[in-house]
């Protein structure tokens, strides 16, 4: 049976619709959550000239496990757009589609410059949902990394833009869940670039539609190489999951490989995210700035509460090179520098499907079950049973050092990294992660101070802070003139003549 994409009538005819001459799409019956439904065949493509909302399809420009992306144009005003049409198996669950719509609405209310704009959506006559998005010219971050290594300043610029986009999304209650180089787009503008983050909400939609089993302890979705430990475990996630994935993305930008690229299977990659400590970036690239190396490792902490927040990440990125990146904004741009002469490194793409649903992750028994996205060649669940090995050693605790403060006056207020410190007779001793820490001190009647102190591993770093008193009237108080009798009463009206 075939359905017209314009008038919605069903027919057994071939070619165009006999009623309105619109395009026809082949329909198939499928079962969703026990209910029968009609949907387009997954391989059905929209042909050139097909009307989708106010736009006409020009050509297919991309496809994936979730659906197809088409180039389209408005026939009257000539505005170009990209239209993503979701596969029927994701559109049959109307509640899942509504959840996706709410997420898209939340992101677009922000209207952030570093998030791809979605300005329309709807349903085709065969019930397949579609999104109308801004047309982007340029290349993905994956394409850029495959061509040549990124300079550190470009890496920092891209990361600053992404922290702004993600912070805005998290404020709207949206967690991206699928950060990876393919979802970061670089749009050239004159002699600069603009960073765009793609595909908000898709991961949650796919989580909803993934098959479930009685043995499942959780369900998650994403790209294994970039998934957080929480995603690998199939437990609830929040914005700190995006922090981890952004750390993996930063690692890939600096090293051109991911922390667990060499694992043999998707299951072992997920296991590594949960239990293995990544190799520091400077082990791959010698000239990584220590501050960036340390920041990436902190973003890759196993426990969400041990990872820095997005504003803190952005502050530390800007502080690199003595604040040399302070000029970068939410629409981060930078001059293009020639890369001729830079050796090409072997590109490494993810070797597994983009979307992987985890039906069960039972670490202790060594049994892992993966439900893979359906492709043209395979559609059956894959069960992987790795060799039973001894439990891995617990991950090493992050290196820490001791900061010992002596403050005068003892009534002063002290903030370390924005957190108040309790002083006991003007002293305090703090256990802090290795790295730079900001100390702000103030007290009534004294000049406030701010400074940065480096804490080193397993050592005591003493810091003495003595606030200077504020000067009155903008200068030092004048000294009184000495008199012979300090107890004498001076008559202010007694004007003595000065000798000539």
Spatial separation of the C-alpha atoms in residues 53 and 9, rounded to whole Å:
17
β 24-32/35-40 pair status? antiparallel
The Cα–Cα gap between 326 and 348 comes to 32
Give the pair of three-digit tokens for residue 127. Answer: 């019930």
Closest by CA to 42, choosing from 383, 381, 379, is 379
Whether the CB-CB separation of 273 and 229 falls below 8 Å is answered with yes
Tell me the two tokens of residue 104: 């898209």
Alpha-carbon dihedral 428, 429, 430, 434, rounded to 10 degrees: 130
Tokens of 330: 């939410």
**What is the total residue count of the chain?**
500
Q: List, as one string, the DSSP characters of 255-266.
A: HSS-TTTT-SSH
Contact 232, 274 (CB under 8 A): yes
- Is the Cβ–Cβ distance between 412 and 442 less than 8 Å? yes
Residue 290 tokens, joined: 């220590």
Spatial distance between the Cα atoms of 271 and 224, rounded to a whole number of angstroms: 10
- Residue 81 sits at the vertex; the CA angle it makes with 75 and 78, to the nearest 5 degrees, is 30
Give the residue among 7, 11, 52, 4 at the shortest CA–CA distance from 25.
Answer: 4
User: How far apart (Å, rounded) are the C-alpha atoms in residues 368 and 389?
Assistant: 13
Which stretches within 29-129 are classed as H helix?
88-91, 94-110
Element at 119 (helix H, strand E):
strand 118-123
C-beta separation of 337 from 157 below 8 A: no
Asked whether the beta carbons of 82 and 136 are under 8 A apart, the reply is yes
CB 166 within 8 A of CB 178: no
Q: Which residues contact 329 (CB under 8 A, 6 or more apart)?
A: none
Name the residues annotated as catalytic. 178
């Amino acid at each position: 049976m075939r359905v017209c994409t314009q008038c919605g009538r069903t027919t057994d005819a071939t070619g165009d619709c006999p009623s309105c001459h619109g395009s026809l799409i082949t329909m198939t019956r499928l079962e969703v959550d026990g209910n029968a439904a009609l949907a387009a065949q997954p391989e059905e493509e929209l042909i050139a000239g097909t009307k989708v909302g106010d736009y006409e399809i020009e050509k297919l420009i991309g496809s994936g496990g979730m659906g197809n992306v088409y180039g389209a144009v408005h026939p009257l005003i000539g505005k170009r757009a990209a239209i993503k049409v979701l596969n029927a198996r994701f559109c049959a669950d109307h509640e899942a589609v509504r959840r996706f719509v709410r997420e898209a609405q939340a992101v677009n209310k922000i209207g952030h410059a570093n998030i791809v704009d979605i300005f329309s959506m709807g349903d085709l006559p065969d019930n397949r949902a579609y999104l109308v998005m801004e047309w982007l010219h340029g290349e993905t971050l994956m394409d850029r990394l495959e061509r040549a290594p990124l300079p550190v300043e470009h890496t920092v610029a891209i990361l600053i833009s992404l922290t702004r986009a993600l912070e805005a999304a998290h404020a709207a209650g949206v967690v991206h869940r699928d950060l990876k180089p393919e979802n970061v787009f670089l749009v050239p503008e004159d002699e600069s670039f603009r960073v765009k983050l793609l595909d908000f909400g898709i991961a949650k939609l796919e989580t909803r539609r993934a098959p479930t089993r009685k043995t499942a302890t959780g369900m998650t979705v994403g790209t294994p190489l970039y998934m957080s430990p929480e995603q690998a475990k199939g437990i609830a996630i929040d914005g700190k999951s995006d922090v981890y994935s952004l750390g993996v993305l930063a690692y890939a930008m600096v090293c051109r490989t991911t922390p667990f690229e060499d694992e043999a299977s998707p299951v072992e990659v997920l296991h590594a995210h949960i239990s293995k400590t990544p190799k520091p970036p400077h082990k791959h690239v010698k000239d990584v700035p220590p501050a960036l190396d340390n920041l990436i490792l902190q973003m890759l902490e196993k426990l969400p509460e041990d990872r820095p927040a997005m504003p803190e990440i952005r502050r530390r990125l800007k502080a690199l090179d003595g604040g040399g990146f302070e000029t970068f904004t939410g629409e981060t741009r930078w001059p293009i520098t020639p890369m001729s002469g830079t050796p090409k490194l072997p590109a490494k793409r993810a070797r597994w499907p983009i979307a992987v649903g985890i039906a069960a992750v039972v670490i202790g028994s060594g049994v892992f079950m993966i439900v893979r996205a359906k492709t043209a060649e395979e559609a059956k669940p894959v069960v992987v049973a790795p060799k039973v090995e001894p439990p891995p050693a617990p991950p090493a605790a992050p290196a820490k050092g001791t900061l010992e403060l002596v403050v005068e006056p003892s009534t002063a207020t002290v903030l370390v990294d924005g957190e108040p410190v309790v002083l006991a007779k003007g002293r305090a001793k703090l256990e802090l992660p290795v790295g730079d820490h900001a100390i702000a001190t103030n007290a009534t009647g004294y000049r406030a101070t701010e400074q940065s102190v480096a804490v080193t591993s397993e050592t005591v770093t003493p810091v003495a802070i003595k606030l200077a008193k504020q000067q009155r009237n903008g200068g030092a108080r004048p000294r009184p003139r000495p008199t012979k009798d300090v107890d004498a009463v001076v008559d202010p009206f007694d004007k003595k003549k000065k000798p000539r």
